[in-house]
Amino acid sequence: MSGSYYAVIMAGGGGTRLWPLSRKTRPKQMLRIIEQRSLFQMAVDRLEGLFDPQHILVVTVPDQFQELHEQCPQIPEENFLVEPFPRGTAAVVGLAAVHLARLDAQAVMAVLTADHYIGNQEWFQKLLQVAELVARQDYLVTIGIHPTFAATGYGYIQQGKLQGRYQGVDVFHVVRFKEKPDEFQAQVMLARGDHTWNSGMFIWKVERIRREIRRQMPQLEKALAELETHWGEPSYATVLEKQWEALTPETIDYGIMEGAENVVVIPAGALKWSDVGSWDSLFDVLPADAQGNIVMGGRHFGLDTRQSLVYVGEEHRLIVTIGIRDLVVVDTGDVLLIVRKDEAQKVRQVVEILKENGDEYI
Amino acid sequence: MSGSYYAVIMAGGGGTRLWPLSRKTRPKQMLRIIEQRSLFQMAVDRLEGLFDPQHILVVTVPDQFQELHEQCPQIPEENFLVEPFPRGTAAVVGLAAVHLARLDAQAVMAVLTADHYIGNQEWFQKLLQVAELVARQDYLVTIGIHPTFAATGYGYIQQGKLQGRYQGVDVFHVVRFKEKPDEFQAQVMLARGDHTWNSGMFIWKVERIRREIRRQMPQLEKALAELETHWGEPSYATVLEKQWEALTPETIDYGIMEGAENVVVIPAGALKWSDVGSWDSLFDVLPADAQGNIVMGGRHFGLDTRQSLVYVGEEHRLIVTIGIRDLVVVDTGDVLLIVRKDEAQKVRQVVEILKENGDEYI
């Protein structure tokens, strides 16, 4: 079939942003934090109707393949591409592009994240449909998230002139990418109103992104070309390992997007997107009770307890909270974390310090 | 030996004021919360030099006898008086008085608590020595604690004229006892400056208190007289059980002290006393670190954490706190309690509610 549309889910991340629930060996996308579904499962769920399982690729790492496959057994095993080493999102995209080019040289690929939350599935699918139309015009398509505060942890996309309107969705030419800004720059971009956050989702023709890699990332191109010559042969795995071992890690943003032309952005509007990047972000994602509390696991008895999140891994444990406000409590059995909501970002600092000390709790 | 001096430690309480660490079957006095010693052990420790173990009686209940005896094996087993049922402090005092009268009709007894903290041992022993002198003059001697706030949870003792000064310690006649006052009454008593808190510690001749019981508590007197006739006989245990079953519970304060004459009070001054009645009281008792934190058990890593108490029963558990202030965190494995320090009193409410629900965590 020619001109097909594939979803490529990048699921190799090893973040510890929801530590102590997420660990090196149990990254965020695997966690079943929302209605007993993991973020990875939800990333697959939300494609239903638009992509059948045969048209979903998952790029991951050896450690995670087994668990992810068990979480989504409907995706054929051969659709899981396993990188021997993580080499950044540019390599992920390149590997998927090589694979898809063999299936359909005219394919369009939607590069998607495995560990973000999207609340509005219908609108998300609409955006992906529009994105495919625009990608077929040879554009590199990005999805921009409406910024709600002067975040310094995200990349920004500045939009220029309208490229077109499709089924009521506006698409803009991109003026520039701006990687994680400082506080002042973020404030300015927020005030200007013509910047969106880079969602890390991209839609393009397989052939078009391959051309960009050839032009901007010669080392990666060489590795991909080598892979292509061994495609389908017994030597493929060895070649992949050898090439990936030598590859310098790079993100698609730095490696391709900042130097690319004919880039457009689709401002996502009411996508209800969250990167679930820290414990406090769950308040944007999960329903709270009348006191503003989110309770997951355990038995909770709260007296004068408000705007707090309690996660307890052990079902039979009783948690009593009295007189607390804006706290996040996470109990994983071996670790108990208590953090004020507006300091939740500092969990990363703690993880760094524990790492330096060679700690077993990471 | 005639005219001896005995300590009687009341160790039958079943409070849950340090819940979830203290439970019905593991009351406060058994908890090893201070330097790995329990409050009961510390109550015995602080008598060293003044009372040898043969001169220390412990009155307790069947549930607690074994554990208390194991905690203080130096006290002879026959010095543990076990009440078949708890019947209030008046019965405790009566039972001990019957026992001591057989050993020495001229004995003085110091009735002491098992679950309070006293920081100044030397001063405490000095007070007990002075108290003995005054008790031998046929007074009922009480120890008054200098009130530091308008507490409504304690009884108060109003002092009148100076009875005498002994080794630099002032002893006052008691004007009246006032049981737990309301907020306004407490404020007034605090402002007057002539009231102290009733410490629950009493010193008197065995013969004198027995006379008071005879005068004021005929039901208890009858039970004690019955016991005396069976003293040392095989029937004693059965008689004790029968008499105690029928006894109406009463405190020594209501039953005796409020109606007694020739009562004196020794204001305790710098005793560093605490009833350890709630988690926040541990801040008066245990040394805090430079950030004002008290950490017991577990491994604690605090970032921007102040004036907080962390108790974790499990040694290998890691506790991370970020951005917290004035919190008490108590983790006993089956229960996790998080309470703001100034709401620590409300733990009792929670225990009451759990009790009503027939909960297993009490």
A358 near B CB under 8 A: no
- By residue count, chain B amounts to 362
What's the burial of A74, exposed, middle or buried (CB within 10 Å: 0-12/13-18/19+)?
exposed
| Residue from A210, A213, A340, A212 nearest A279 by CA | A340
Q: Report the pLDDT value the prediction gives residue B288, as an integer from 0 to 100.
A: 94
Mean pLDDT of chain B: 94
Beta strand B294-296 with B309-312 is: parallel
CB A324 within 8 A of CB B327: yes
Distance from CA of B27 to the nearest CA of A (A): 20
| Residue from B274, B276, B278, B275 nearest B345 by CA | B278
Do residue A329 and residue B335 have CB atoms under 8 angstroms apart?
no
Evaluate if residue B82 carries a pLDDT over 90: yes
Do residue B303 and residue A349 have CB atoms under 8 angstroms apart?
yes
Do residue B324 and residue A339 have CB atoms under 8 angstroms apart?
yes
| A14: CB partners within 8 A, 6+ apart | A24, A27, A61, A63, A86
Give chain B's domains with CATH numbers.
5-274 (3.90.550.10), 279-356 (no CATH)
Confidence class for position B242, pLDDT limits 50, 70, 90: very high
What's the burial of B282, exposed, middle or buried (CB within 10 Å: 0-12/13-18/19+)?
buried
Do residue A334 and residue B316 have CB atoms under 8 angstroms apart?
yes
In chain B, which residues have their Cβ closer than 8 Å to the Cβ of A359? Answer: 318
Distance from CA of B321 to the nearest CA of A (A): 5
Token readout for A116 is: 């973000």
- Triad B195, B196, B198: Cα angle to 5°: 130
Beta strand A169-178 with A140-145 is: unpaired
Beta strand B117-118 with B140-145 is: unpaired
What are the average pLDDT values for consecutive 10-residue runs of chain A, which has 362 residues?
90 84 88 89 97 98 95 98 96 98 96 96 98 98 95 94 96 94 94 95 98 97 96 94 96 94 95 92 92 91 95 88 96 94 92 86 84
Q: What is the pLDDT of residues B162-210, one digit of tens each?
A: 999 999 999 999 999 998 899 999 999 999 999 999 999 999 999 999 9
| B289: CB partners within 8 A, 6+ apart | B295
In chain A, which residues have their Cβ closer than 8 Å to the Cβ of B356? Answer: none
Do residue B301 and residue A336 have CB atoms under 8 angstroms apart?
no
Chain B, nearest residue to A20 by Cα: B320
Confidence class for position B1, pLDDT limits 50, 70, 90: low
A-interface mutation test, from B314, B336, B341, B361, most A Cβ less than 10 A away? B336
In chain A, which residues have their Cβ closer than 8 Å to the Cβ of B339? Answer: 320-324
CB A298 within 8 A of CB B314: no
Token readout for B220 is: 């208890």
DSSP state string for B244-280 = HHHPPP--HHHHTGGG-SSEEEEE--S--EE---SGG
Q: pTM here?
A: 0.86
Assembly ipTM: 0.85
Please give the interface size between A and B, counted as residue pairs whose CB atoms are below 8 Å apart: 118
Do residue A340 and residue B324 have CB atoms under 8 angstroms apart?
yes
Distance CA A106, CA A100 (A): 9
Distance CA A352, CA B44 (A): 47
Distance CA A179, CA A152 (A): 9
Q: Strand runs (DSSP E) across B104-146, as ranges?
A: 108-113, 117-118, 140-145
Chain B, nearest residue to A316 by Cα: B334
Handedness of CA A40, A43, A49, A51 (dihedral sign): negative
Evaluate if residue B15 carries a pLDDT over 80: no
Token readout for B207 is: 């013969």
Distance from CA of B199 to the nearest CA of A (A): 29
Mean pLDDT of chain A: 94
Do residue A350 and residue B323 have CB atoms under 8 angstroms apart?
no
Confidence class for position B25, pLDDT limits 50, 70, 90: confident
| B231: CB partners within 8 A, 6+ apart | B98, B102
A361 near B CB under 8 A: yes
A331 near B CB under 8 A: yes
Q: Report the pLDDT value the prediction gives residue A1, as an integer from 0 to 100.
A: 55
The SS3 assignment for B181 reads coil
- In the numeric block, the tokens 């999207």 are attached to A118
Q: What is the pLDDT of residues B26-69, one digit of tens each?
A: 899 998 888 889 999 999 999 999 999 999 999 999 999 999 99
- By residue count, chain A amounts to 362
The SS3 assignment for B301 reads strand
B338 near A CB under 8 A: yes
Handedness of CA B274, B278, B284, B287 (dihedral sign): positive
B322 near A CB under 8 A: yes
Distance CA A4, CA B280 (A): 66
Q: Report the pLDDT value the prediction gives residue A230, as an integer from 0 to 100.
A: 95
Distance from CA of B290 to the nearest CA of A (A): 20
Beta strand A335-340 with B327-331 is: unpaired
The SS3 assignment for A325 reads strand
In chain B, which residues have their Cβ closer than 8 Å to the Cβ of A318? Answer: 20, 334-336, 359, 361
Do residue A320 and residue B343 have CB atoms under 8 angstroms apart?
no
What's the burial of B69, exposed, middle or buried (CB within 10 Å: 0-12/13-18/19+)?
middle
Chain A, nearest residue to B319 by Cα: A336
